[in-house]
Amino acid sequence: MMQMLIGDSKEGDIMAVTIKDIAKRAGVSYSTVSRALNGIGAENTESRKNILRLAQEMGYVPNQAAINLKKSRSYVIGLYFSTISKMTSPFVLHDVLTGVYSVAGSKYNVVVKGIDMHEPGTLNPSYFDGIIVLSQRSEDMEFMNEVLDKKIPMSVICRAVDVDAPNVTTDEALAMERAMDYLLENGHRNIGIIEGNPGLDSSRLRRRGWRTSMTSHGLDPDALPVISGNYRYASGYTAAKQLLTFRPTALLCFNDEMAFGARTAIVEAGLKVPDDVSLVGFDNWDMSGYSDMHLTTVERNMGEIAREGARVLLRRLDEGIVDNRRIYLNNKLIIRDTVKNLNVEERKPS
């Protein structure tokens, strides 16, 4: 009797069963199935037994072709962003590319692509030795599952994800909490918030951070005016023009590029930074420390995140060292000249 197999079709197969198919049938995550099939974790749990039984019943066969292809190296690394044209700041692109290239050197060619332009099921395991994913959205999981299903070594940077791959990120919520703490400790209460794209995890985490800070200081986060930008200069400018109607003493921006756009709106309104409006950014890109406005900001160091993501991937490719840890790199608040201490103003004699 012929059995129809369900899954992603590949040349030479009718329909090949994938780990994703087994996960769907078992009602568990992709990572759980992967660990069970590779003998990682508890040996005799009921969940693992059920997964192995389903794999056998469904006719799952490991993609040996992809494994064998790795014996002949392509020396190509894929660098996939969630999106390149729509939401990724050019400054982030620059820092990540520079970081990856500094590690890959002349040994590997780096091919840059956007996940939003990828057609599911078309990833060719013979083309890439490995893939680095700069993930900004939960929707990227479909692509990452395809990478793992085709046995392509992968590292994920910038977002904490549940995958069997090294994961390099930072605690963005805590970083933004500290930035808001700094404004509050300097006496600011009427603070305008310029957030980033609502669909990005980085925006969600940074929002959690500033709101946590407000709550921990006994203040209502819903009392503050909030406008979403798109991490670009123009959106910071537009958002600031609207927020200035609330007469804020400070603006907290979700990245430095929007902070510089906000600064332009502040100056056009006949105001000064920080005398009239204080300003805090996030990312600490080069211009923040060397322009005429020395911006107080959070240093996330995207270059080092990219370098570490490339290092762990290349250790696997070149030395066979598999290290699927989640690695958190430190953020720090860079205090410069754009926050006015209102507490000092209040203590001045009348």
- Domain assignments of the chain as residue spans, ordered by start: 1-56, 67-170+302-329, 172-300+334-342
Answer yes or no: pTM beyond 0.85: no
| Alpha carbons within 13 A on the beta-carbon side of 322 | 6
For domain 1-56, the CATH architecture is Orthogonal Bundle (1.10)
Rounded to an integer, what distance in angstroms lies between the CA atom of residue 141 and that of residue 51?
A: 21
> Per-residue confidence of the chain (350 residues) as pLDDT tens digits?
333 333 333 333 345 788 888 988 898 888 788 778 766 555 557 888 888 888 888 888 766 544 544 457 899 999 999 987 666 677 788 899 999 999 998 899 999 999 999 999 999 999 999 999 999 888 999 999 999 999 999 999 998 898 899 999 999 999 999 999 999 999 999 999 999 999 888 999 999 999 999 999 999 999 999 999 999 999 999 999 999 999 999 999 999 999 999 999 999 999 999 999 999 999 998 777 677 889 999 998 899 999 999 999 999 999 888 889 999 999 999 999 999 999 986 555 55
Residue 11 CB burial class (10 angstroms; 0-12, 13-18, ≥19): exposed
Which residue, chain included where needed, has tokens 């508890």? 42
Q: Please tell me the CATH code under which domain 67-170+302-329 is placed.
A: 3.40.50.2300
Nearest-angstrom CA–CA distance, 163 and 205: 19
Provide the 10 A C-beta neighbour count for residue 37: 16
Please name the residues in contact with 144: beta carbons below 8 A apart, sequence gap of 6 or more: 133, 135, 154, 156, 161, 163, 165
Q: Do domains 67-170+302-329 and 172-300+334-342 have the same CATH topology?
A: yes
Q: Taking CA 243 as the corner, what is the angle to CA 272 and CA 223, rounded to the nearest 5 degrees?
A: 120
Answer for the pair 300, 170: CB distance below 8 angstroms, yes or no: yes
Written out in words, the top-level CATH class of the domain with range 172-300+334-342 is alpha beta
Give the separation between CA 233 and CA 126, rounded to whole angstroms.
40
Q: How many CB atoms lie within 10 A of CB 118?
A: 15
